[in-house]
Copies of this chain bind each other. A is one copy, B any other.
Amino acid sequence: VISRHDVLSAALELAETDGLEAVSMRAVAERLGVTAMALYRHVDGKDDLLDGLVEQLLDELPLPAEDLPWDERLRALGSSVRQAASRHPGAFGMLLRRPASTPAARRPRDAVYAALREAGVPDELVPRAERVLSTFMLGFAASEAGGRFAGHDPATVEADLAWVTALIERGLRGA
């Protein structure tokens, strides 16, 4: 017997080893020792499978330890996101195509909220700052993993991020 979680995990593993384009109903089924038609019991077609795959990816995102200072927490979260993107270059881009209001997106968002509040951002500005910050971080990680920075030294890319990180933290401290 096979559960929805099994299907999603198999799909994510397949994406990690063979790339997102290798994730077909038939290939996921084979990996589970079952026919493609059996998946329809647990997943509402391929789109739902891909949605679930992204949800799974978010669920596995490591969150920073809560006893760290806010700036280190934000940087750690950034690292987590970049690592997730590099592990799943194909699937990661789908994060920009899904509503940010999905349940799995809540944990990382709440982590950013907490860090921003601790940094002194006024409560009514916290959601806005989170959206803007996450948009940049997702765009950066998707670009890096997707190959948009392919023409540049890794060191240059790293320095780009360090530069903007410093600007953002300076901005947050100034508020």
B101 in contact with A163 (CB, 8 Å): no
For A96, the chain B residues whose CB sits under 8 A away are 93, 96, 139, 142-143, 146, 148
How many residues of chain A are within 8 Å of chain B by beta carbon?
Answer: 30
- Chain A interface SS verdict (over half): helix
Q: Are A100 and B151 in contact (CB under 8 A)?
A: yes
Among A35-43, A62-70, A71-79, A128-136, the one that faces the other chain is A128-136
Contacts of A149 in B (CB 8 A): 99-100, 131
From B101, B140, B160, A150 is in contact (CB under 8 Å) with: B101
Pick the contact of A148 from B100, B146, B148 — CB < 8 Å?
B100
> In the complex, A134→B139 CA distance in Å?
9
CB-CB < 8 A to A97: which residues of B? 93, 142, 146-148
Per CB-CB distance, the 10 closest pairs between chain A and chain B, nearest first, are A139-B139, A97-B146, A101-B151, A99-B150, A96-B142, A96-B146, A136-B136, A132-B164, A135-B139, A100-B148
- Point out residues on A near B: beta carbons under 8 Å: 93, 95-101, 128, 131-132, 135-136, 138-140, 142-143, 146-151, 159-160, 163-164, 167, 171
16 contacts between A and B (CB under 8 A): A96-B139, A96-B142, A97-B147, A98-B146, A98-B148, A99-B147, A99-B151, A100-B143, A101-B150, A128-B159, A131-B149, A138-B139, A138-B143, A139-B140, A139-B143, A142-B142
